[in-house]
Amino acid sequence: MSKDNHGKLCYHCNSPIPDNTNIVWKRESDNLEFCCHGCHTVSKIILESGNSKFYDIRGSSAIAPVKTPEDDRRIREEYLNGEMVFEEYIRELDPTNWEIHLTITNIHCSACVWLNEKVLNQTEGINSSRINFATGRAQIHYNPQKINLSEIFLIIESIGYLPRLYSPWKDSLQNKSNKSLLIRMGIAGFCFGNIMLFGTALYAGYFTGIELEWKRLLHYLSWALATPVYFYSGYPFLVGAWNGLKQKRLSMDFLLVLGISLAYFYSIYVTLTDRGEVYFDSVCMIYFFILLGKYLEDNARIRAGDKLSGLLAGLPEVATVLPEGIGRGEEKIVRTSEIKKGMVVLIRNGERIPVDGILLDELSYLDESFLTGESEAITKHHGDTLLAGSINTGNPIRISAESDSKNSTLSRLKILIEQAMGEKPKLERITDRISTYFISLVLLLAIGTFLIWFYTFSVSLETALINTIAVLIVACPCALGLAVPTALVMNHIRNSKQGVVIKNPDSIETISRLDTIFLDKTGTITEGKLKITDWNFADIQLAKVLTYHLEKFSIHPIAKNLVREISLTSTELTNDPVAIQELAGLGMTGTITWKGQVYNTKLGSAKFLGTKDESSRNRIYLSANEKYLGYWEMTDTLRQGSKDAIDFLQKIIPRVVLLSGDQKLVVEKLANQVGIKEFFSEVSPEKKLEAISSEQKQNHITAMVGDGINDSAALARADIGVSMGVAADLSLDKSDIILVHNDLTTLAKTIEYAKQTQRVIKQNLGISFAYNSVMLPLAAMGLMAPVICAVFMALSSLTVVGNSLRLRSEKS
């Protein structure tokens, strides 16, 4: 039976409740009815947090949510909660934790970020939400069993913001110029220019005399021009101030709106009573300069967002899929977002690979410069992993998809950068709290200024108001709020260009203070692409079978290289081992059946097998059934640029130490080759932990650089963990820094960038505190007109932004 809601109004927004809507919250003795789940959720947050006065302030007026293109709620709900949006925009991390990225289009200050995060994080069903002020993007984790996407949209809209779907794993390059902000600024500038023409006549008349009728006409014309500026150009600030008041929070917008409102309404009073002088020109000029500052800040944010979006700019929108299994037959063109794990994808010459996959053909040549920085074509063999974004430079190849577009290496890299930019470091959280107290202090100072001037000095109401307006306008917590995030955004952009991802912005301060760096050998200083250059076995085929079946279950770089080398030359690799065990830093054990015989096999270092090693090359020893069989000798290649990178590191870091599990002669030879004076050999993972802990106990700030696989414990223990590349371990949970291009030179540059960024942050904070320390007393003493205050307010923010932008041209 349908429910008739004729005449009923929503308890939260006072809008009519649609028929067939039955959303009721029984609170104490009242049954509160709502028009939607968004209003229900927001109202619950307001009332349960003790903010019931919000509804007294609202009165009987309706709160109109932001208008959306989808006016039909049912159609929009079906779309947002449907399969298409899920496939394109949502990542299922687990059944109770889904991830969605949104762009919130009208976020213009840190107060907007605070309000949205607070409301979202207090909503039942939302696990976490983080909003990146630099790009206006929100990352939301939610439980689909408790809340759906359309309800999240309604919650954001109910507090006056406009969410849009955004996919970080798709190319989103577009013209992002903020037309709305530009129009508001243009109107303010146009009206200000015209009012100044009238003002010239008024100022001349002030000194030489002017007839009342002409003066009154110019006042009314100025009023007419200032009104659209006050309401339209100032709309974002009016909304920001109102939203802050609803949450019982004084914001920078509130100070600005209060000051401009005093000037605007006082000018209306003068216009109607013919007493005093109008300040409509000040209203327009103040908004013009502040909007100009916001526009320049916004452009910096847009450039930051473009750098991130550019990571995925080259991925194809469509791909060619073949029948699964044999991977040959009729071709089918599908959208990249439709590719699932296990699908066979055909990649022709010159095409980019749309998702990570396993090579099904025998050989391929790829350009991976898009991701790894390698300028030369890379040779790949059957079974190798191919990364999304790579270009096929050889014959057409087939790959078996290992991920969908959401979970490719490239997509995860971009998400890591988005998350890093969304995190607030400790210093920024402190400055946010200072800004909150600062606003209250300024409000008290403004009230004190008015009372002292009006009652103590007995000046006119106009003079007292003008000095009060000057205090409200010149006070600028914006510069303080921008001091940290603008510098961090520029640091992220610089590191992104170098192929470096810093996962947590709190790490930047630690990076700038590093004094000890531990380097792993294989895969860090060397390429990690070992080749078999010699062997010593009586039965080489038996050695290949036993080695292959043990090592194919290991993720150690040497093991992976052995498996690759053996698989290129052998065909009798069909039996599976049992009871496999990997002993970190030593080797592998396992039981293998081959040709009817059981082999209890050990493979690893000389120490593990109890034999002697006097070679300066990498040797992997093999035994079966307690009988020594021989060794594999493998040669690694020094990573290009390693010596120059280590020279660079040693100039900026007091101690650079080489740690390796290889035997002494091998490690000593490499250390001499790259110029490292301090090294340790035959170091187990436990010994690496002890070395790092020992330095930390002596108050040294340490970093561990490894391949992200067998060094995970050491990476976690060090103050800063650095992983080489993204292909080794896509989760990279233990590391703080990812060197995507596998280049140690980028680590040295990252350390230099961190030092420069910390210096700029301190300069920005100094500029902000100095500005307010000087300008507030001058304004309170009546030495600065409101218009001059507006100029200096905009300049303070622009100075901080400009100082941060200097980082782009800083040399490392």
- Model confidence at 566: pLDDT above 70: yes
For residue 536, the cross-strand partners are: 631
- Which of 340-349, 548-557, 693-702, 779-788 reaches the highest mean pLDDT? 693-702
Between residues 430 and 274, which one has the greater pLDDT?
Answer: 274
The residue type of 559 is A
- Residue 352 vs residue 264, higher pLDDT: 264
Which run of H or E residues covers position 335? strand 332-335
What single-letter DSSP state applies at residue 67?
P
pLDDT score of 654: 93
Asked if 677 contacts 567 with a C-beta cutoff of 8 angstroms, the reply is: no
What confidence score (pLDDT) does residue 293 get?
65
For residue 592, pLDDT beyond 80: yes
Number of CB atoms found within 10 A of residue 334's CB: 15
Structure tokens at 90: 């949502």
Average pLDDT of 219-231?
93
Dist CA 455 CA 598 (whole Å): 102
Report the share of the chain in percent with pLDDT over 90: 17
- 6-10, 439-443, 696-700: least confidently modelled range: 6-10
* Residue-averaged pLDDT of the chain: 79
Nearest partner of 624 among 595, 607, 602, judged by Cα = 602
Residue 346, pLDDT above cutoff 60: yes
Residue 684 pLDDT > 60:
yes
Handedness of CA 108, 110, 111, 116 (dihedral sign): positive
- How does residue 780 score in pLDDT terms, banded at 50, 70 and 90? very high
Nearest to 464 by CA among 781, 788, 787: 781
595-622 residue pLDDT tens: 888 889 999 888 888 887 767 677 889 9
* Residue with more model confidence, 303 or 747: 747
DSSP 3-state assignment of 323?
A: coil
Using an 8 Å Cβ cutoff, are 407 and 393 in contact? no
Token pair, residue 545, equals: 């079978």
pLDDT band at 727 (very low <50, low <70, confident <90, very high): very low
Instruction: Give the three-class secondary structure for 378.
Output: strand
Q: Can you tell me the mean pLDDT for 525-539?
A: 85
- Give the tens place of pLDDT for each residue, 365-382: 887 766 555 556 677 878
Per-residue burial over 454-477, b = 16 or more CB atoms within 10 Å of its CB, e = otherwise: beeeebeeeebbbbbbbbbbbbbb
Least confident of 336-350, 667-681, 748-762: 336-350
DSSP-assigned beta bridge partners for residue 85: none
- The H-assigned helical ranges of 124-251 are 149-158, 179-208, 212-228, 235-246
**Which of 753, 752, 745, 750 lies closest to 735 in space, CA to CA?**
750
Amino acid 173: pLDDT: 40
pLDDT at position 648: 92
Longest dimension (CA), the chain: 117
As a whole number of Å, the CA-based R_g of the chain is 33
User: Cα angle at 70 between 67 and 74, to 5 degrees?
Assistant: 115
Residue 162 burial (C-beta neighbours within 10 Å; 0-12, 13-18, 19+): middle
Beta strands 531-537 and 627-635, pairing class: antiparallel
Percent of the chain with pLDDT strictly greater than 70: 78
35 neighbors 10 (Cβ within 8 angstroms): yes
452 band by pLDDT with thresholds 50, 70 and 90 = very high
Report the alpha-carbon angle 685-686-692, nearest 5.
90
Position 304 pLDDT exceeds 70? no
Supply the pLDDT for residue 622. Answer: 93
Termini Cα distance of the chain: 72
- d(CA 402, CA 388) in angstroms, rounded, equals 10
8 A C-beta contact, residue 647 and residue 571: no
Structure tokens at 756: 């420069």
Quick: pLDDT tens for 617-635. Answer: 778 899 999 899 999 988 8
Lowest model confidence (mean pLDDT) among 188-202, 402-416, 434-448, 668-682:
402-416
Q: What is the predicted pLDDT for the residue at 777?
A: 93
Quick one: pLDDT at residue 326? 47
User: What integer is the mean pLDDT of 530-557?
Assistant: 84
Query: Sorting pLDDT into bands at 50, 70 and 90, what band is 176?
Result: very low
pTM: 0.63
| pLDDT higher than threshold 90 for residue 39 | no
Count Cα atoms within 13 angstroms, Cβ side, for 273: 10
Confidence at residue 494, expressed as pLDDT on a 0 to 100 scale: 86
Query: For tokens 């009546």, what's the residue?
Result: 782
Least confident of 283-297, 512-526, 744-758, 773-787: 283-297
Joined together, the tokens standing for residue 733 give 């949970």
CA dihedral sign, ordered 175, 180, 181, 182: positive
Q: Give whichever of 97-101, 252-256, 501-505, 557-561 has the largest mean pLDDT.
A: 97-101
d(CA 524, CA 671): 13
Range 249-277 average pLDDT: 82
Which pLDDT score is estimated for 757? 93
